[in-house]
Structure 1
Amino acid sequence: MSTTVVLFTRDLRLSDHPALYAAAAEADRVVPLFVLDPALLRVSARNRIAYLADALADLRGLLRERGGDLVVRWGDTAAETARLVVETAATAVHVSADVSALAARRARRLAEAVGAAGARLRAFPGVTVVPPGALRPVRGDHYRVFTPYLRAWESAQWRAPLPAPERVVLPGSLDPGRLPEPDLTRHGIGTLSPQRARGGVGAARAQMRAWLSGTAPDRGEGSRLGCHLRFGCISPLEVALLARDHPDGAALLRGLALRDFHHQVAWASPGLHRADRRPGRIRWREDEAGFAAWCSGTTGVPIVDAGMRQLLREGYLPGRVRSIAAAYLTRVLRVHWKRGADHFHSLLVDGDVAANYGNWRQVAGIGGVPRPDLRFDPLRQARRWDPDGSYVRRHLPELRGVPGAQVHDPTLLPQP
């Protein structure tokens, strides 16, 4: 009987999972595997670790409904996968292709370890709507500017979504291992946000239904699907298809395209998120007091402070507020963009390396279209995005009695 191991990473679902679908179709037995690597947990945001624990429990339940289970191992991903290949006599390991520098290193080590154990590693799409590298300009291996990429992305032929397998058969007598304990968040960096999103397929589907029906609370703050997409608890392709047919889906669809854009940039240059493509063009400043005020939401600029306090409380920020907060740090305070990107990454439940650092590079003016001298007016941006002041009042209790757009007046808050 043939056996295939499916290594789950950030694709924690059963529906539209090409790697799992192929394994179930081709092999007699399928071993769904997730490896908890202590080295990675130590540098992951506590908010994302908490989401991961929820998502793994949800995934195990879904697999058990189909006769299978989620096999959980602790240790180095390549070594534990190879060990399971030997234990189950598997001939193949399936994984969803990813683009970060960490994912590239993992793929190389997996190929070596799995090959030495007698199996073949196969990578499948599923992390993005359009696979990185599938769309290329006339010259070059990837798009450096979003607008032409968006045109190509919108006109591309997407693959058809795949159903979840009806049944998953594990090898007999295989110990599935234990799920993470509730205190898994003792690992990691950043603080644990008290109102962070719950993880898992169930939560992702519920959020998608609420967005489609218009019943999601604070709908004006975005779809809030980012964390579910980051962990793959919902398929980005399925979300894109639903958004494309929805009367209010344009903004969500554009966000998915932007996410794919940053992934194809990271695919072409896996270490780019840590690099200044044009170093020396911006004179950054050392402003510890300003950076601390920005992190704590006490800059005195209402829209910035509202966003940074929401980030601390929820591990989430609407896309426009991310851009406003990032522009304030980099273009007003002139603090280096990496410091801001790292702070976001330590708190965001949806902390996707490619998207987070890619967006920060763009806002700082060192991305594909360099604009380091672009002027930025936070008050003007605030009034355009939050014209009635409802967002600021929601997240700054001390300003809830201020009417309308007056809430954006920077003299209302103490200046640092």
Structure 2
Amino acid sequence: MTDTVIVLFSRDLRVHDHPALAAACERARHVIPLFVADPAIPSGNRGGFLVECLADLRGSLRERGGELVVRHGDSVAETMRLAEETRAQAVYAGLDVSTFARRRQRRLAEECERLRMDFLVFPGLTVVPPDALRPTGGGDHYRVFTPYLRAWVRQPRREVLKAPGAVHVPGGLRAGKLPEPGREPYELFRGGETVGRRRMEQWLRHCVDDYAEGHDDMAGNRTSRLSPYLRFGCVSPLELEALARDVGDAGAARDVGEIEEEGEGRRGADEFVRQLCWRDFFYQVTRAFPRINRDDYRPRGHEWRDDDHAAQAWKEGMTGVPIVDAGMRQLLTEGWMHNRARLIVGSFLVRRLGVDWRVGADHFFDLLLDGDVANNYGNWQWVAGTGNDTRPNRLVNHIRQAKRYDPDGEYVRRHVPELDAVPTRRIHEPWRLPSGVPGYPAPLVPMG
């Protein structure tokens, strides 16, 4: 048995279904859970949420006799410094696919080899590991979603792992201070595995069966809002998929752990699992194309407009198009945006304003609690026609979208209070808005 293993946490801030932590607890006498607050990874608006995640993780580890050791500085340098101080024999970490994460993994591997230590990388970021599937016709990844979905559904799953009963850390370790939050957490989202698992349990118990019919209802609270917890690894995507499938036709359960395995799954659960597959899809795309946040995945010769005024109006939710402004203001106040709204506002920026998709994607990445490289930039390229959409010239009619998915104007009024007294018909036809609405602009582009 190994004496001491460091488990480096990053996008996996949980104790349930944590392959690296489980393996370390099984193979080593002493385990050092470590998080490094690296200034090269700015937390932005996610800072408060991150600190709550870390505090919750520290509490869960202490309940098991362990500790979350926190260090500040370069991730690799601090990890190796701790390894030398504690005479650790190995470093375990979770797999990630971004350029920064892969560079970090490569440096850790090199440093561990230099010190004759083991370095092992474990799954857990996705349901199916990003490198597990290859197209039958050749190539290193799937470029189109539907063939990927077929292969993904058939791929065997690893076992969902229980949280370790005990975590034994070596004596004399300095725990270290949690990072400063930067900004206070958003009111609607509190960070941590405890909150994430509670939200997962309640949503699976009460709401998943309505997902297929309700997830496009912009005014309704009919989506899981689990994306921030998936982004920080507070919830295991594999466990979430397993529970969503298990809830199937079994109906409501008293507790997540009591959901029985029966039935093929309700339509709502199936549609939700499909969204988890989309998440995996963009991770395997990013693994093959790590510059997805900077370069066109499929260059198509777009000539973008350099229009700072239009881009700023879009960011502030002041375009004069109510459904677009509602989505952008929701992002500013909640750090989250309804998925249908993301499609609408993204398409408006690139198709109607002609602004480079990178401007919108970077703004989303800065503000979204669930913002990550793979899904944020992968989805933006899909909307812009430079990514994985098989119809690169797809147009989204913002007026039709508003009438269909916010028919009573409730979503718009919630986030654009200036329009509270405006009739719904005029909200959906911005060119008919009365010119006297205080503080609300005319549409940036012709809409009639």
TM range (shorter): over 0.9
Query: Are the counterparts in 2 of residues 323 and 363 from structure 1 also a CA contact under 8 Å?
Result: yes
2:346 equivalent in structure 1: 326
Determine if the alignment matches structure 1 residue 261 to structure 2 residue 281: yes
Determine if the alignment matches structure 1 residue 391 to structure 2 residue 411: yes
Residue by residue over 1:327-384, the C-alpha shift from the partner in whole angstroms, topping out at 9 and shown as x without a partner, is: 0000111100000000000100101110000000000001124544333311112222
Find runs of 4+ consecutive structure 1 residues off by over 4 angstroms: 215-219, 402-406
Match of residue 194, structure 2, among 193, 202, 213: 202
Matched letter for residue 182 of structure 2: T
Aligned length: 406
Query: Could you list the runs of 5+ residues in structure 2 that have no partner in the other structure?
Result: 209-217, 249-265, 434-439
C-alpha distance in 2 between matches for 1:392 and 1:253: 29
Select between 378-387 and 230-239 the one with higher mean Cα deviation.
378-387
Residue by residue over 1:32-63, the C-alpha shift from the partner in whole angstroms, topping out at 9 and shown as x without a partner, is: 0000112223xx32x21111111000000000
Match of residue 282, structure 1, among 294, 302, 326: 302
Question: What is the deviation of 1:405?
Answer: 5.9
Residue by residue over 1:115-134, the C-alpha shift from the partner in whole angstroms, topping out at 9 and shown as x without a partner, is: 22331110000000000021
SS at match of 1:40: coil
- Higher-Rg structure is 2
Matched letter for residue 281 of structure 1: G
C-alpha distance in 2 between matches for 1:149 and 1:219: 31
Query: Are the counterparts in 1 of residues 219 and 410 from structure 2 also a CA contact under 8 Å?
Result: no
RMSD between aligned residues:
2.0
Query: Are the counterparts in 1 of residues 144 and 390 from structure 2 also a CA contact under 8 Å?
Result: no
Question: What is the deviation of 1:141?
Answer: 1.2
1:162 equivalent in structure 2: 161
Change (3 A) 1:155 1:174: same
Determine if the alignment matches structure 1 residue 414 to structure 2 residue 413: no
Matches within 5 A, 1:33-72: 33-41=34-42, 44-45=43-44, 47-72=45-70
C-alpha distance in 1 between matches for 2:116 and 2:205: 49
Question: What is the deviation of 1:325?
Answer: 0.6
Determine if the alignment matches structure 1 residue 88 to structure 2 residue 115: no
C-alpha distance in 2 between matches for 1:31 and 1:115: 19
Query: Are the counterparts in 2 of residues 392 and 408 from structure 1 also a CA contact under 8 Å?
Result: no
Higher relative contact order (CA 8 A, sep 6+): 1
Matches within 5 A, 1:194-273: 194-195=186-187, 197-214=189-206, 220=221, 222-244=223-245, 245-246=247-248, 247=266, 248-273=268-293
Change (3 A) 1:193 1:280: farther
Query: Are the counterparts in 1 of residues 47 and 185 from structure 2 also a CA contact under 8 Å?
Result: no
Change (3 A) 1:113 1:405: farther
C-alpha distance in 1 between matches for 2:112 and 2:46: 28
Query: Could you list the runs of 5+ residues in structure 1 that have no partner in the other structure?
Result: 187-191
Matched letter for residue 34 of structure 1: F
SS at match of 2:120: strand
Matched letter for residue 35 of structure 2: F
Determine if the alignment matches structure 1 residue 368 to structure 2 residue 388: yes
Query: Are the counterparts in 2 of residues 51 and 199 from structure 1 also a CA contact under 8 Å?
Result: yes
Percentage of pairs with the same residue: 53
